Amino acid sequence: MLRIDGTPLNFSRSNQERLRWGINFTRPLGPVAPELRNARVRFVGSEGDLQNALPPGARIIRPEPGSAAARQFENASSRLTLSLYYTLNLVDEILTRQGGPVLDLLNGSATDARGGRSRHEVEFQATAFKHGLGARAKVKGQSGTSVRGLSASSSDSSGDLTFSSFATVDINLFANLADRFGGEKAPRWLKGTRASLGITNLFNRRPEVRDEAGLTPLSYQPAYLDPLGRLLSFSLRKVF
């Protein structure tokens, strides 16, 4: 007879050590003045948000639409951004309670059905924005993990599970409707409105789990681990 106590509990202590480094690349999508090439650009939802972000006494200067100055500022806010980051997880341990066992998530332990902590993680993101239109692509990948079974001997692989490495791709397309339909002359109801189309897990990738016989246990079937898979969404946001 097997009895399971499902009472929720808080872990006593968590210890994590990791190294993370990466590179970022940004460039304007169009010619800009030298003093604006390295300017920090922030996107806000309304003029009120912009005024709140400025220091006291600062003024908002609007260049004449269609002028050279207006095109310079538009190009400065139209940018391509690329980033690539790599994470090496060195330690990920959980002490369940004082005097209790330590779970080493990098070496055979896990706290849920998705396996332990991956040793290697990679993340790439590309974003482009111009004339009110934007696109964002994000790729996340991780190395495989393994979970040891309940065997009393650490050298016995009976009951061990292996989780494959996998990567997901997310795509998001968005449009600021006021920028596309009239700019400053756009209808008032369009200002601060953004339409977005997103695809999560573009290639419908799910982790694959195998036991020592090369089979996937029923509770670890891909559809159980990730019931949604590929997800298509559309949103319409209005900032008042």
The 10s digit of each residue's pLDDT in 74-102 is: 666 688 999 999 999 999 999 988 888 89
CA 34 – CA 30 distance, rounded (Å): 12
The 10s digit of each residue's pLDDT in 130-150 is: 888 999 999 999 999 999 874
- pLDDT for position 78: 81
152 pLDDT above the threshold of 50: no
Largest CA distance in the chain: 81
- pLDDT for position 151: 41
Same domain (yes/no): 96, 161: yes
The 10s digit of each residue's pLDDT in 4-38 is: 777 777 888 999 999 999 999 988 887 766 655 56
- pLDDT for position 94: 94
- pLDDT for position 5: 76
- pLDDT for position 61: 59
What's this model's pTM, rounded to 2 decimal places? 0.75
Angle CA 216–218–222, to nearest 5 = 65
What amino acid occupies position 7? T
CB-based contact 134:145 (threshold 8 Å): no
Same domain (yes/no): 231, 179: yes
CB-based contact 53:43 (threshold 8 Å): no
116's CB contacts (< 8 A; 6+ apart) are 92, 105, 106, 107, 108, 109, 110, 145, 146, 147, 163
What whole-number percentage of the chain has pLDDT above 90?
Answer: 48
- pLDDT for position 154: 42
Query: For the chain, what is the domain count?
Result: 2
219 pLDDT above the threshold of 60: yes
Residue 1 covered by a domain: no
Residue 6 covered by a domain: no
CA 46 – CA 50 distance, rounded (Å): 6
- pLDDT for position 100: 84
Same domain (yes/no): 65, 46: yes
| 35 against 106, higher pLDDT | 106
pLDDT category, 157, cuts 50, 70, 90?
very low
- pLDDT for position 221: 93
- Domain carrying residue 195: 13-28+80-238
Residue 44 covered by a domain: yes
